[in-house]
């Protein structure tokens, strides 16, 4: 499947998880979660509030940097997205570095708000566009945030969900097999009994993505928005 096709599958898979929520926030440098959230908003007839950090037009925060965190603690933030330089079989993420955390052999950008949001936001969706064995590992070197039952990981190859403390395969994207996924994943996993194929975006979704979603994405993610418009 071409890269743009995989992206659209990821966006649709995430957007479907956001249906019925009230308030979804998206951190910096997260174009796929941003597109998925804006798609969920468009599908909900704007009943989902979307806060895109770093956006002047799609953020409803007026109380400074702390507001996102206070909002989460108040129970007013239903979903947030995290990436993870490492993500492990339990759903834990590592945003800090490899090796000794006091002197990592490789350091990532930092923990940001993940240690807090991961425990306070009911729906934290993990997202990686480069499903591979170095990223998806048996055990993270540093627990920026621990895993949690029900947490989902959406990659460019499949959707995992934590059940009984470990990721299970929920759906695989078109073109993937259980074998191709095992080869690309650094941890062992079971597939859910009903694991099927990730549903591709339908025509309504595709037209919303090309139209209002792409338009809303232009401010913060112009290149990504242009690709959405090309379809």
Sites of contact with another protein (CB under 8 A): 17-23, 28-29, 49, 54, 56-57, 60-76, 78, 95-96, 101-103, 107, 109-120, 122-123, 142-146, 149-150
Distances (CA, A) of 45 to 38, 48, 129, 166, 181: 11, 8, 28, 35, 36
Q: To the nearest whole angstrom, how small is the minimum distance from the Cβ of residue 18 to another protein?
A: 7
Strand partners, 107: 97
- 30 phi, psi to nearest 5 deg: -135, 70
- β-bridge pairing 166-172 and 190-197: parallel
Q: Rounded CA gap, 9 and 6, in Å?
A: 5
Shortest separation between residue 179's beta carbon and another protein, angstroms: 28
Shortest approach of another protein to residue 118 CB, angstroms?
A: 8
Q: How far is the CB of 210 from another protein (least distance, A)?
A: 23
Instruction: Classify the C-alpha dihedral 36-52-128-21 as positive or negative.
Output: negative
Nearer to another protein, 61 or 210 (CB): 61
Dist CA 186 CA 94 (whole Å)? 15
Cβ of residue 196: shortest distance to another protein, in angstroms? 17
Helix or strand (DSSP H, E) at 183: helix 178-184
Q: How far is the CB of 106 from another protein (least distance, A)?
A: 9
Q: Of 105 and 177, which has the nearer Cβ to another protein? A: 105
Among residues 94 and 155, whose Cβ is nearest to another protein? Answer: 94
Q: Is the dihedral of CA 149, 151, 155, 159 positive or negative?
A: positive
Cβ closest to another protein, residue 150 vs residue 196: 150
- Residue 57 Cα to chain centre, angstroms: 22
Nearer to another protein, 1 or 98 (CB): 98
Q: Which is nearer to another protein, 50 or 208 (CB)?
A: 50
Rounded Cα gap, residues 170 and 178, in angstroms:
11
CA distance linking residue 109 with residue 111, whole number of Å: 7
């Amino acid at each position: 499947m071409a890269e743009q096709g995989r992206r659209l599958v990821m966006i649709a898979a995430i957007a479907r998880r956001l249906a019925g929520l009230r308030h979804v926030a998206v951190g910096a440098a997260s174009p796929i979660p941003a597109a998925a959230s804006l798609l969920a908003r468009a599908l909900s007839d704007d009943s989902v509030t979307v806060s895109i950090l770093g956006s002047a037009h799609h953020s409803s925060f007026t109380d400074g940097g702390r507001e996102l965190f206070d909002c989460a603690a108040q129970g007013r933030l239903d979903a947030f997205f995290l990436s993870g330089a490492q993500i492990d079989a339990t759903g834990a993420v590592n945003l800090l570095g490899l090796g000794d955390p006091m002197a990592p052999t490789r350091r990532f950008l930092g923990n940001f708000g993940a240690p807090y949001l991961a425990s306070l936001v009911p729906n934290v969706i993990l997202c990686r566009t480069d499903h591979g064995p170095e990223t998806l590992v048996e055990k993270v070197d540093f627990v920026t945030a621990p895993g949690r039952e029900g947490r989902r990981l959406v990659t460019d190859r499949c959707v995992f969900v934590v059940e009984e403390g470990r990721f299970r395969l929920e759906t695989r994207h078109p073109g993937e097999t259980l074998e191709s996924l095992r080869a690309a994943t650094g941890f062992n996993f079971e597939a859910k009994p009903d694991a099927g194929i990730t549903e591709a975006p339908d025509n309504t979704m595709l037209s919303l993505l090309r139209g209002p979603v792409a338009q809303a994405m232009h401010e913060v993610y112009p290149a990504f928005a242009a690709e959405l418009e090309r379809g």
